[in-house]
Amino acid sequence: MKVSIIGATGYAGAELLRLLLRHPEVRVAHITSESHAGQSISYVYPHFERIMNQPLESLDNIEAIGEDSDFLFIGLPAGYAMTIGLELEKLPVRIIDLGADYRFHDTAVYEKWYKIEHAHKDAKCVYGLAELYRDAIKDAKIIGNAGCYTTASILALAPLVKYGLIDTDSIVIDAKSGVSGAGRSAKLPNHFPELYDNFKAYGVANHRHTPEIEQALSDISGKPITLQFTPHLVPMSRGILSTCYAKLKDGETAERVDGAFQAMYKDEFFIRLRGRNAYPETKYVRGSNYCDLGWHIDERTNRVIVLSAIDNLVKGAAGQAIQNFNIACGFDEKLGIDMIPMYP
């Protein structure tokens, strides 16, 4: 398959390129970057030296790139993918957007949370969280790749919601991310002296991933779900640990919780059930497409606490995009992304 990466010099784009270069059914046709057009990818990212020295193109030629590609992976900030999708609407090229433009069933929700008018309201798109939307992904022309915080949190809570074990009004998500999730552009809060030896919350009560988590869990539940989500920034480069709390319904037991996770994920290669009383860690999934889950039952408060660990650049971005690509192409879902996590 001929694929192109639009926005190849962001962290997610570069990670996507690294993974696609080891995919046996892929040929990378075009890579773009507005800030580095004309330079080789190995000049911008020296870790590609002797592996790939292809020049980066600008978006001036997007129609020609679309005509020369079976798939476009778009790794651009919110607001850009929708204009590309609209421009290439009549071409057979399929799109996987690593941003937020195509993640929402209702574009009004996107406009409310992202403060951007949606230019492609009638797009035929599906949400790209492979384990939950696999059937829809198979034939989708546009796939809105799930976000990083959302992937960790949705996968943690989905079994509890699906099997009706919790009071959905009681959900609280407390998640921590490495700084690569903020992107490569220089920002004062991510400056080393500001970040090092520090730990902080941000986006309290208004983070843009909140409605995305609510949408997926509402799909599973069959009724609207509103929840509390608070993200935190950790002074490390990769990884997300999401700690999710919910009140168990009266009469539900630890064994029922165990059974829900087993029933939902026993055949999912990329979800590793660490089990009850386990403590997933970001280092155990670093550089991989795995999501590790562990859960605890607090009998004193009648709450279930689920811990979810992913690599935000892989399962939270590039790896998940390739998992979606494999599904859409009819390939083995693990193809090109079944690597062992890096440790330590």
DSSP 54: P
Choose, from 148, 244, 291, 329, the residue flagged as catalytic: 148
Q: What integer pLDDT is reported at residue 226 of this predicted model?
A: 98
- Intrachain domains 2-123 and 149-313 with the same fold: no
Tell the residue number behind the tokens 């999912």, with chain if given.
268
**What number is the average pLDDT over the span 143-167?**
98
Q: What integer pLDDT is reported at residue 299 of this predicted model?
A: 96
Q: What integer pLDDT is reported at residue 189 of this predicted model?
A: 85
**What number is the average pLDDT over the span 29-37?**
97
Alpha-carbon distance 26 to 151, whole Å? 25
How many CB atoms are closer than 10 A to CB 42?
Answer: 16
Name the CATH code of domain 149-313 (choices 1.10.3720.10, 3.40.1440.10, 3.30.70.100, 3.30.360.10): 3.30.360.10
Helix, strand, or coil (residue 206): coil
Short-list 313, 291, 327, CA closest to 16? 313
Q: Which two tokens mark 210?
A: 């909140």
The model's pTM:
0.97
CB-based contact 230:174 (threshold 8 Å): yes
pLDDT digits (tens, 9 = 90+) for 247-301: 999 999 999 999 999 999 999 999 999 999 999 999 999 999 999 999 999 999 9
Counting residues of the chain whose pLDDT is more than 70, the rounded percentage is 100
Does 186 have pLDDT greater than 90? no
Helix or strand (DSSP H, E) at 2: strand 2-6
Supply φ then ψ for residue 222, to 5 degrees: 85, 5
Fold of 2-123: Rossmann fold (3.40.50)
Helix, strand, or coil (residue 241): strand
Residue type for position 133: Y
- Catalytic residue status for 329: no
Alpha-carbon distance 180 to 187, whole Å? 12
Alpha-carbon distance 310 to 75, whole Å? 19
**What number is the average pLDDT over the span 174-178?**
98
CB-based contact 314:239 (threshold 8 Å): no
Q: What integer pLDDT is reported at residue 215 of this predicted model?
A: 98
Alpha-carbon distance 103 to 107, whole Å? 9
Q: Which residues contact 27 (CB under 8 A, 6 or more apart)?
A: 1, 2, 3
Please report, for the chain, the start and end positions of each structural domain, with discontinuous segments joined by +. Answer: 2-123, 149-313
Q: What integer pLDDT is reported at residue 10 of this predicted model?
A: 96
Which contacts qualify for 117-126: CB closer than 8 Å, 24 or more apart?
A: 118/82, 119/82, 119/83, 119/86, 120/82, 120/83, 120/85, 120/86, 120/89, 123/82, 123/85, 123/86, 123/89, 125/85
Q: What integer pLDDT is reported at residue 190 of this predicted model?
A: 87
